[in-house]
Structure 1
Amino acid sequence: MTYLPNVLFAVVLIAAIGYFAKNVGRLRRNINLGKDVDVSDNRKERWQNMVRIALGQSKMVVRPVAGLLHIIVYVGFIIINIEVLEIIIDGLLGTHRVFAPLGAAYDFLIGSFEILAFLVIVSVVAFWIRRNVIKLRRFLKPEMKGWPKKDGNLILYIELVLMLLFLTMNAADYQLQQLGAEHYTKAGAFPVSQFMAQLMEGMSISSLVILERAAWWLHIVGILFFLNYLYFSKHLHILLAFPNTFYGRVTPKGKFKNLEAVTAEVKLMLDPNADPFAAPAEDAAEPDKFGASDVRDLNWVQLLNAYTCTECGRCTDECPANQTGKKLSPRKIMMDTRDRLEEVGKNMDQDKGEFKDDGKQLLDDYITREELWACTTCNACVEACPVSIDPLSIIMDMRQYLVMEQSAAPTELNNMMSNIENNGAPWPYNQMDRLNWVNE
């Protein structure tokens, strides 16, 4: 019976890690549904981007208030969870504060953790007020109704509860140390929880032990729950921000990719020795689909982008089309891509890894043509994203599909392309009349 808590802890830990690993496998499978793309270039610049943007939070502080609050939560939550290592060792071996022999260094660590936990609580409350009391405009967009809003608040509640449990556990532990309870040797500094401990004065040692153990269990189980909740939440960016910034775009933002098939056709047309009427070779590969109408037409970096989206809304907030009342929201583009990818993944899970046509696609069923053509291609969304997400690349690929596969460009665009083809300019004047305005 003495080892029952340790066995129970081991079972909970293994189950949580196993479920997390299963979800990571599903995540990896879904991202790999995208087309292959070569992102092996500029490795030095990619590492610098990851360190500067993901680790250093350089793009978060562009907006100082939100940036500072986010850095506190980010640093606090990561550093405080260093104590999780001690909790896991204690849970498996049946020890208590196994790192206590570190002495003054341990006291400094625990004291730092407590101060950070308090700052995280303050920041989380501030974030909740910004979302639910001040009601910032970017959190009130149509795509944020329902689950996205609940998810954002739920994450704040979880973080708040985890920090309060951490401080409650330490407060009860501090009180037990003062009472000389068995196994509770004096260790650690408690600059915050010692004040909470004053509320526990008068409690018996047995009651304090129950309180400390309950907070300990709830804290670690809560962390394991949060770990597995990540897959279903926008907070997946905690893990994916690092690879996403590494594989993010390093070419100039105004440069668009050329299709190899189109480039080959143009070269063929310009080659005086080529026979434009020659039939393709028998072993020639079937031409790829132009552009994208569904998630599997996108490349895997774009799908990684979709899973990394934090739903912060900075992209939509900066979008000139959205600001002028157009339907386009770059954040919704990423959320729709992720939702469709999840739907495709669940479809494959139900059919033993094979996709069964469900009669749906990203175009029209999730993202409308009105949204796509509202984009001005200004790259404001790409520049604003704090984790190097590129909504514009998805918009352009879907536009390409509409134009080259369906000939479904807006009338204004068709007129412009016809003018370029016939007149060498987007205006409806032949080359001889182009400078007539000078005479006026």
Structure 2
Amino acid sequence: MQYIPNVLFAVILIAGIGFFVKNVKKLARNIKLGRNVDVSDNKSQRWKNMAMIALGQSKMVRRPVAGVLHAIVYIGFIIINIEVLEIIIDGLLGTHRIFASIGSLYGILIGAFEILAVLVFVSVILFWIRRNIIKMKRFWKSEMTSWPKNDANYILYFEMVLMTLFLIMNATDVHFQAMNSGNVISQVIATWFSGLSEGTLHIIERGAWWVHIVGILIFLNYLYYSKHLHILLAFPNTYYGKVKPKGQLDNLEAVTNEVKMMMDPNVDPFAAPAEDTGTEGEEMPAKFGASDVQDLNWLQLLNAYTCTECGRCTSECPANQTGKKLSPRKIMMDTRDRLEEVGKNIDANKGAFKEDGKQLLDDYITKEELWACTSCNACTEACPVSIDPLSIILDMRRYLVMEQSAAPVELNNMMTNIENNGAPWPYNQMDRLNWKDE
């Protein structure tokens, strides 16, 4: 009978971690649906970016209030959860505060954890006030429907409860309080329970202990369904993020291949595509641009899953500021939603995607949104985790122009002028200087 709590703990731990691993595999599968992209260059710069941006929060603190509060929550939550290792060992072996044997260092660590827990709790309350009382504009844009707004609050509530349980667990632990080492905050909270018997305190301490560890496992598995997946993905996303100058656009490989075929004298321009004839020969180029998530590369899909929905990109977007429908945050949210839909389709059809008559273009992201973008890169500069909404916008615009010839009239006129006159203006090369005679 004495081993029942240990067995129960092991079952809960294995189930929680197992479900998390299952979701991580599904996440990796969905990301791999994207096209391959080579990001093996500039490794030293990539490591530096990850250290500065993901670990060092360098882009978060550009907005000092939110940056400092986020740093407190981030550092506190990570460091406090080091104690989870002790909880896991205690739960499996039936011990109690097994690391207390290290002496005074244990007290220093727990004391630091308690101070951080209070700071995290206060920071989370301030975040909740900013979001729900002050109602900062970027948190209440049209794309922030009920689920995105509720999701953000659920995480805040989670963090409040976990920090509270941690402090109550310490405050009602008679043995820990008797040590009088590291109980810098919990000794004050302990006075609230001073009238209770030792047996009652033990029940409260055990209850807080169990709910705390189960809550952490629930939080871990909730991440897959939440925008807070960036807690895990910010590190690979900042490592693989763009290291080229932001204004430098990538050449479209399919266009390059098409041009090479046109210039190759050995290629018969009237030959049928190799896949249609079944004969060996030059492969026809892939689809130009992107109309659905499978046409994007895996880094763009990783970007979509990493999006924090913080809205910094949208608040910096000049198109959005002037009332246009474009919201870079919505571009990322729509991409993630469509990718999730495709993933569920694959799961329902035993590993194969069944055409559902939908796509990212038009069903999620409208042409009006795409053409509102000025390509200024304000969104990519503002993103605290190196997400690049512009790359998705440009790939979808390439599809519209090169596959559907669906560019706006103004753009079609410009391209015609470039083709005929070698410049965007509707003047013959011989007439370009006529303005000086006017």
- TM bucket by the smaller chain? over 0.9
The answer for the alignment partner of 1:338 in structure 2 is: 336
Q: 1:78 to 1:405 in 2, by over 3 A?
A: same
1:399 aligned partner, one-letter code:
R
1:383 aligned partner, one-letter code:
E
2:394 aligned partner, one-letter code:
M
The answer for the alignment partner of 1:145 in structure 2 is: 145
The answer for the alignment partner of 2:52 in structure 1 is: 52
The answer for the alignment partner of 1:115 in structure 2 is: 115
Q: 1:177 to 1:39 in 2, by over 3 A?
A: closer
Whether the 8 Å contact between 1:176 and 1:208 is mirrored in structure 2 is no
Q: Distance in 1 between matches of 2:248 and 2:7?
A: 57
Q: Distance in 1 between matches of 2:257 and 2:116?
A: 58
The answer for the alignment partner of 1:181 in structure 2 is: none
The answer for the alignment partner of 1:216 in structure 2 is: 209
2:202 aligned partner, one-letter code:
V
Whether the 8 Å contact between 2:314 and 2:327 is mirrored in structure 1 is yes
The answer for the alignment partner of 1:253 in structure 2 is: 246
Query: Displacement of 1:438 after TM fit?
Result: 1.4
Whether the 8 Å contact between 1:106 and 1:187 is mirrored in structure 2 is no
Structure 2 SS opposite 1:412: helix
1:189 aligns with 2:182: yes
Whether the 8 Å contact between 1:100 and 1:187 is mirrored in structure 2 is no
Q: Distance in 1 between matches of 2:406 and 2:400?
A: 5
Whether the 8 Å contact between 1:34 and 1:297 is mirrored in structure 2 is yes
Q: Distance in 2 between matches of 1:361 and 1:22?
A: 26
Whether the 8 Å contact between 2:84 and 2:213 is mirrored in structure 1 is yes
Whether the 8 Å contact between 2:262 and 2:269 is mirrored in structure 1 is no
Whether the 8 Å contact between 2:31 and 2:302 is mirrored in structure 1 is yes
Structure 2 SS opposite 1:304: helix
Structure 2 SS opposite 1:144: coil
Query: Displacement of 1:338 after TM fit?
Result: 0.3
- Unaligned runs of 5+ residues in structure 1 are 179-184
The answer for the alignment partner of 2:218 in structure 1 is: 225
Instruction: State the Cα RMSD in Å.
Output: 1.5
Structure 2 SS opposite 1:435: helix
Q: Distance in 1 between matches of 2:236 and 2:104?
A: 37
Q: Deviations over 1:251-309 (max 9, x none)?
A: 111111112332244456667x6777474774222320000000000000000000000
1:16 aligned partner, one-letter code:
G
Q: Distance in 2 between matches of 1:356 and 1:264?
A: 30
Q: Distance in 2 between matches of 1:204 and 1:4?
A: 25
Larger deviation, residues 200-209 vs 273-282: 273-282
Larger deviation, residues 208-217 vs 249-258: 249-258
Q: Deviations over 1:127-185 (max 9, x none)?
A: 00000011111001011121000000000000000000000001101x4555xxxxxx6
Q: Deviations over 1:340-381 (max 9, x none)?
A: 000000000011000011110000000000000000000000
The answer for the alignment partner of 1:43 in structure 2 is: 43
Q: Distance in 2 between matches of 1:320 and 1:146?
A: 26
Q: Distance in 1 between matches of 2:270 and 2:183?
A: 81
Whether the 8 Å contact between 2:255 and 2:288 is mirrored in structure 1 is no
Query: Displacement of 1:191 after TM fit?
Result: 1.1
The answer for the alignment partner of 1:20 in structure 2 is: 20
Structure 1 SS opposite 2:143: helix
Q: Deviations over 1:97-137 (max 9, x none)?
A: 00001111100000000000000001000000000011111
Q: Distance in 2 between matches of 1:125 and 1:71?
A: 14
The answer for the alignment partner of 2:282 in structure 1 is: 284
Q: Deviations over 1:365-416 (max 9, x none)?
A: 0000000000000000000000000000000000000000000001111011
Whether the 8 Å contact between 1:245 and 1:388 is mirrored in structure 2 is yes
Query: Displacement of 1:439 after TM fit?
Result: 1.8
The answer for the alignment partner of 2:326 in structure 1 is: 328
The answer for the alignment partner of 2:194 in structure 1 is: 201
Whether the 8 Å contact between 1:30 and 1:345 is mirrored in structure 2 is yes
The alignment's TM-score, normalised by the length of structure 1, stands at 0.96
The answer for the alignment partner of 1:314 in structure 2 is: 312
The answer for the alignment partner of 1:182 in structure 2 is: none
The answer for the alignment partner of 2:352 in structure 1 is: 354
The answer for the alignment partner of 1:166 in structure 2 is: 166
The answer for the alignment partner of 1:299 in structure 2 is: 297
Alignment of 1:71-150 (within 5 A): 71-150=71-150
- Unaligned runs of 5+ residues in structure 2 are 275-279
1:234 aligns with 2:252: no
1:233 aligned partner, one-letter code:
S
1:385 aligned partner, one-letter code:
C
The alignment's TM-score, normalised by the length of structure 2, stands at 0.96
Q: 1:187 to 1:88 in 2, by over 3 A?
A: farther
Q: 1:247 to 1:134 in 2, by over 3 A?
A: same
Decide which of 396, 408, 411 is 1:410's aligned counterpart: 408
Q: 1:438 to 1:168 in 2, by over 3 A?
A: same
Whether the 8 Å contact between 2:377 and 2:390 is mirrored in structure 1 is yes
Q: Distance in 1 between matches of 2:377 and 2:176?
A: 58
